[in-house]
Amino acid sequence: MAVETQNNASDRLSAEIAGLDALELGGKQRGSIAGRLWGRLWPMGIAVLLVLAVWEIVVLSGRWPEYVLAGPTTVIPELGARLADPEFYSAVAVTMRRALVGFALAMLIGLIIGALVSRIRPLRAGVGSLITGLQTMPSIAWFPLSILLFGLTETAILFVVILGAAPSIANGLIAGVDYTPPILLRAGHMLGFRRLQLYRLVILPASLPSFLAGLKQGWAFAWRSLMAGELLVIIANQASIGEQLHYARELADSAGLLATMIIILFIGIVVDMVFEAADTSLRRRWGLHQARN
């Protein structure tokens, strides 16, 4: 109805103000894909260059010998050598597979535990605080139990990863549930939703932002647990990033350690970008992206 009658007028204006838009505060308008990419890339480029420069200066200062702190000029070729090595990709693939499988399972378990604990009062009183307790438990404490239960198998690694990430994910969900605006709960209640339906249709979507934040933290836990857990069981013919990190340190190989750290950072950044994309689309839908600072 009204929308149609206005389209001509809006088209005209739309064209008129296109130039103006471009000048406006960035980010409010979606802008072109290239433009958005560029808006992300230049600050990243500068950040990377800055880090490299500081690093090289520290190394050049001669405060520490090269074998103690390798400089970019050593590490970058080392990194290049790895990237040229097919085995490297299989190591990354092994680790990523474990991370993703473990994380997916942790997500499922975290979701279930979070859902139960957040809504069942005695359960919450009984084991609510245990969740954070479990979160603070270092991965190595679980190693013996993990081996007892699963032997020298990949499942033992996954177990450690899940124990690392699931509490974090559950906590994110619980926080989200706790902060669901009461008016939305009441609205859901009035629409006749109870228990599972209320949970699925109202509480869960309302908690999504917090759940997403929990997922992000859970990923970090999963990854760190994995880096430790990959030493737990060394499975035939499967190199992994956790192993590489460990051996680089074992061999006092500064360049190798730094190269591995860069790889870990890179993966972390890529994963963060995925989360951020999800987050941005969520905020756009909720109408939170227009916030004026």
Partner 1 sequence: GGGDTASTTSPSGAGAGAPKEVRLGFFPNITHSTALVGVEKGLFAKHLGSGTALKTSTFNAGPAAIEAVFSGAIDATYIGPNPAINAWARSKGQAIKIIAGSASGGVYLVVKPEIKSIEDLKGKKIATPQLGNTQDVALRYLLQEKGFKTNTQGGGDVSIIPQENSQTLQTFATGDIDGAWVPEPFASRLIKESGAKVLVDERDLWPNKQFVITHLIVRQEFAKQHPDTVKKLLEAHVEANAQIASDPAGSAQTVNAALEKLTGKPLKPEVLDPAFKNITFTNDPIASSLVGSADHAVKVGLLEPVDLNGIYDLKVLNEILTAKGQQGVADK
Partner 2 sequence: MTAPLTEHTESRPEGATPAVRLAGVSKMYGTGKAGILALDNVDLTVAQGEFVCLLGASGCGKSTMLSLVAGLDAPSAGKIDLDGRRVSLMFQEPALFPWLTVSANVEMALRAKKLDKRQRRASALEFLDMVHLGGFGDKRPHELSGGMRQRVALARSLAQDSDVLLMDEPFGALDAMTRDLLHDELERIWRERTLAVLFVTHNVREAVRLGDRVVLLSSRPGKVVQDFPVTLARPRRTDSTEVARIAAEITDHLRTEVVRHAR
Residue 26: phi and psi, rounded to 5, are -55, 155
Measured in whole angstroms, the distance separating CA 137 from the mean position of its chain's CA atoms is 20
Q: Which of 218, 222, 213, 212 is nearest to 98 (CA)?
A: 222
Which one of residues 38, 42, 67, 266 is an interface residue with partner 1 (CB under 8 A)?
A: 67
Dist. CA 55–CA 199, nearest whole Å: 50
Query: DSSP string of 158-199?
Result: HHHHHHHHHHHHHHHHHHHHHTS-HHHHHHHHHTT--HHHHI
Report residue 63 CA to chain centroid gap.
36
Residues 6+ apart with CB under 8 A from 262: 75, 79
Q: Which of 131, 134, 256, 279 binds partner 1 (CB under 8 A)?
A: 256
Q: Do 114 and 208 touch, CB atoms closer than 8 A? A: no
Residue keyed to tokens 């074992």: 250
Residues 6+ apart with CB under 8 A from 10: none
Count of residues that interact with a second copy, criterion CB under 8 A = 93
Binding partner of 29, given partner 1, partner 2, a second copy, none, CB within 5-8 angstroms per partner class: partner 2
Quote the CA–CA distance of 172 and 241 in Å, as a whole number: 28
Nearer to a second copy (CB atom), residue 158 or residue 173: 173
Query: Whole-number minimum distance, CB 6 to partner 2, in Å?
Result: 5
Identify which range of 118-126, 171-179, 214-222, 250-258 contacts partner 1 by CB under 8 A.
250-258
Q: Segment contacting a second copy (CB under 8 A): 11-19, 77-85, 104-112, 132-140?
A: 132-140
Which of 235, 262, 278, 282 binds partner 1 (CB under 8 A)? It is 235
- Is residue 72 involved in binding partner 2 (CB under 8 A)? no
Q: Interface with a second copy includes 137 (CB under 8 A)?
A: yes
Among 12, 189, 284, 285, binds a second copy (CB under 8 A): 189
Q: Which member of 112, 123, 184, 269 binds partner 2 (CB under 8 A)?
A: 184
Q: Which of 126, 151, 200, 201 binds a second copy (CB under 8 A)?
A: 126
By CB under 8 A, is residue 40 in contact with a second copy?
yes
For the CB of residue 155, give the shortest distance to partner 2 in the complex, in Å: 37
- Binding residues for partner 2, rule: CB under 8 A, are 1-7, 9-11, 13-14, 16-17, 20-21, 24-25, 29, 183-184, 186-187, 189-193, 197, 201-202, 205-206, 208, 282, 285-287, 292
